[in-house]
Structure 1
Amino acid sequence: MKRLLLIATFVFLSLAGCSSIQEAYKGNPTPKDFLSNDKADIFMCEGIVYSNVEGVKWVLELDYTIGEQIVEIKKQKKKAFGYRDGNANKLPVGTVIYETNTPVLIAVVDGEEIPYLAMLEG
């Protein structure tokens, strides 16, 4: 009986330790992390979520050069399930996203350049 209790305790502690490790490492943010906020403006490219950073002061001060097209928005999607590269929640279908010589990507909508930044876990 003591042996069974000892094994059960060991299994319980092992499982509790694994879940703590998983909580400590969550990885990069996903669309689910943003789409519950009505103000979120995101798209996905190469498995990474990019968020609108129009109001970020240091971004507004960047002197960037637009480079090559990296993705075109293929689908507008409000739900996180099945969110893929080329999906956006607010950008219209057909919007072209360009790389720059900075960490910022640029979406061009009706001639307006909108900056987006990768949402990466530190």
Structure 2
Amino acid sequence: MKSFLIVFLITISLSACNNEQQLKMGEEEQLYIGSPTANEILSKNKREDIFLMNEVVYVNAERIDWVKKADLTLGNAVLEIVRQSKDGEDFTEGTATKLPVGTKIYKTNEKGDIYIAVVDGREIRYLGFREG
């Protein structure tokens, strides 16, 4: 009977430790799953060239080799920039940090997460900043 009680207490102790670890892992997953917000991105780099569309932040991808080298063609216009802001908390659909108001954003026929802004006849590629 005494040994049964000791085994029972050890089992409960180990189960409690195991549940705590799972809870901590779950909390970490909740912290890191999901797309970063404009505020999170701009808090790390206030000069980042971004825009917001469909609750996803798109980042200028001109320095990403595989995006630059991708053979892409313009699809339909899907967004027009309606305002500029450097304040990440002030971002709503169609807000950009650097793209001028009135800039059209086009989807590409080849890649879903790459969009192209056309400014003064120049194409600028943007990549959706997603995590999780």
Give the TM-score normalised by the residue count of structure 1: 0.79
Choose from 41, 47, 51 the match for 1:39.
47
Name the amino acid aligned to 2:40: D
Q: In the superposition, relative to structure 1, how do residues 87 and 22 fare at CA in structure 2: closer, same or farther (>3 Å)?
A: farther
> For residue 5 of structure 1, what is the aligned residue in structure 2?
none
User: What does the per-residue CA deviation read over 1:29-78, in whole Å, with 9 as the maximum and x for residues that have no partner?
Assistant: 10012112133110000111000000111111111110000000000011
Name the amino acid aligned to 1:24: E
**What is the rounded CA distance, in whole Å, between the counterparts of 1:74 and 1:23 in structure 2?**
36
> For residue 115 of structure 1, what is the aligned residue in structure 2?
125
Alignment of 1:3-42 (within 5 A): 17=23, 21-25=26-30, 26=32, 27-36=34-43, 37-42=45-50
- In terms of Rg, which structure is larger? 2
Gaps in structure 2 of 5+ consecutive residues: 1-19
Partner SS, residue 67 of structure 2: helix
Gaps in structure 1 of 5+ consecutive residues: 1-13
The structure with the greater share of residues assigned to helix is 2
Name the amino acid aligned to 1:71: L
* Percent of aligned pairs with the same amino acid: 44
